[in-house]
Amino acid sequence: MTHAMTLVALLAALNFCTAVGVVYIKYLSRQSYTEISRSQQEIDELHVEWNRLQIEEGTFSEHARVERTAQERLGMSLPELEETVMIIR
């Protein structure tokens, strides 16, 4: 009977170790999922910021394009200081 009791105790210990292992793996899985969720949120925020910066770049480059087109196609240029007239009311 002692042999059977030893076997039962060994199987109970193995069963306990397996249960603890399953709980630990589940814990690690949840931590990984939380980290992935945070990373995905950060990616989304960076994507929004990237889009905002692209719009801002487009806004700033639009002025330069208009000025360059005015100089190239229409032959326009900024007047010199001597050519400017200030109108006072």
3-state secondary structure 26-81: HHHHHHHHHHHHHHHHHHHHHHHHHHHHHHHHHHHHHHHHHHHHHHHHHCCCCCCH
Count of the separate structural domains present in the chain? 1
Question: pLDDT tens digits, residue range 75-84?
Answer: 888 888 888 8
Residue 44 forms part of a structural domain = yes
Domain holding 27, by residue range, is 20-61
Residue 86 forms part of a structural domain = no
Residue 36 forms part of a structural domain = yes
- pTM confidence score: 0.55
Which is it for the CA torsion 10, 14, 20, 24, positive or negative? positive
Question: pLDDT tens digits, residue range 40-70?
Answer: 999 999 999 999 999 988 877 777 788 888 8
Residue 75 forms part of a structural domain = no
Residue 40 forms part of a structural domain = yes
Residue 88 forms part of a structural domain = no
Residue 66 forms part of a structural domain = no
Residue 47 forms part of a structural domain = yes
